[in-house]
Amino acid sequence: MGDLELQQYLFDLQGYLVIENVLTPTEVATLNQLIDQQNLPTPDKQLRFGGAAGSAPVGPGFLAWGQPFCNLLDHLTIMPILRFQLGDCFRLDRIYGIRMCQGMPRGHLHADYGATSPTSKARSGEYHHFGVNEIHNGFTVVAWSLADAGPEYGGFCCIPGSHKSNFKLPQQISNEPAQASCVVIPSAPAGSAVLFSEALTHGTAAWHGEHQRRTLLYKYCVSHTAWSARRVSRPDNVRLTPRQQILFSEPADPYRFFPSLFEDVEDGSKK
């Protein structure tokens, strides 16, 4: 079984996928140093950092902190997986980082699409509906782990398989996710990429690690979808490749108004 086939099977089954060792220890260290240089306020005041187009102001966010952050935009390990889920045309919808210190409490379990989402009564378009040998998923998050996370520390948590559930999250699981055996905290050592569907019920588990949690979230959606009216903008101090530039295009119909990210691709990178 090829890597991609296995990855898609597991992603479809669980609604998330952890790929370890995508970044080398040196790459992780470089990203962490660049974050250190920002002199951010202590994370007990603010969990999220370097954001754009989320709760944070519009702008390039941490992409302006240097080339290594932009290199992750279309990392060759994640592009084939994103293509399988989102097709040839997708956009970067929003980005931010999360830092946590020991003792920081959990966040609430949530899903942006499907039965548990606040928009569950809206007409679906992005729900993770499934056909034989197909994944239809409109919104995928790639979370880069810059510090070890997992059951012994905390961090990202989720209910595997919940992206396909037809039922709203029961209140008792929502109230006490740490007591629910269906909620898992996947192990994500530094250098891993955690991919998950926004239809998956997921959240933040309390942080018990002595070290600081650090993760960078890049959220992608099919070209004709947007989460909010705000946009991440391109950093003006870093040169982007043509493929990276496409990720910042305005939402539009695939192919007709939004170019493919995979045209003229020979060695996996768009020319």
Ligand X SMILES: O=C(O)CCC(=O)C(=O)O
The contact set with ligand X (CB under 6 A) reads: 98, 143, 155-156, 202-204, 215
- Cα 213 to chain centroid, rounded: 16
Say which DSSP state 123 is in.
P
CB of 203 to ligand X, least distance (A): 6
Q: What number of CA atoms fall less than 13 Å from residue 141's CA on the CB side?
A: 26
Quote the CA–CA distance of 117 and 168 in Å, as a whole number: 8
Nearer to ligand X by Cβ, of 82 and 143: the residue is: 143
Residue type, 271: K
CB of 120 to ligand X, least distance (A): 17
Say which DSSP state 98 is in.
E
Quote the CA–CA distance of 246 and 260 in Å, as a whole number: 8
Nearer to ligand X by Cβ, of 215 and 244: the residue is: 215
Nearer to ligand X by Cβ, of 196 and 258: the residue is: 196
Quickly list H helices, 61-154. Answer: 67-71, 79-86
CA neighbor of 159 nearest in space, from 186, 128, 121: 186
CB of 206 to ligand X, least distance (A): 11
> Are the C-beta atoms of residues 23 and 33 closer than 8 Å to each other?
no
Nearer to ligand X by Cβ, of 70 and 142: the residue is: 142
CB-closest chain residue to ligand X: 204
- DSSP secondary structure string, 182-221? T-B---B-TT-EEEEETTS-EEEEPP--SSPEEEEEEEEE
CB of 202 to ligand X, least distance (A): 5
Quote the CA–CA distance of 140 and 163 in Å, as a whole number: 12
Nearer to ligand X by Cβ, of 137 and 215: the residue is: 215
CB of 214 to ligand X, least distance (A): 11
CB of 60 to ligand X, least distance (A): 19
CB of 205 to ligand X, least distance (A): 8
CA neighbor of 140 nearest in space, from 73, 220, 37: 220
Nearer to ligand X by Cβ, of 164 and 202: the residue is: 202
Nearer to ligand X by Cβ, of 115 and 238: the residue is: 115
Residue identified by tokens 């056909």 is 131
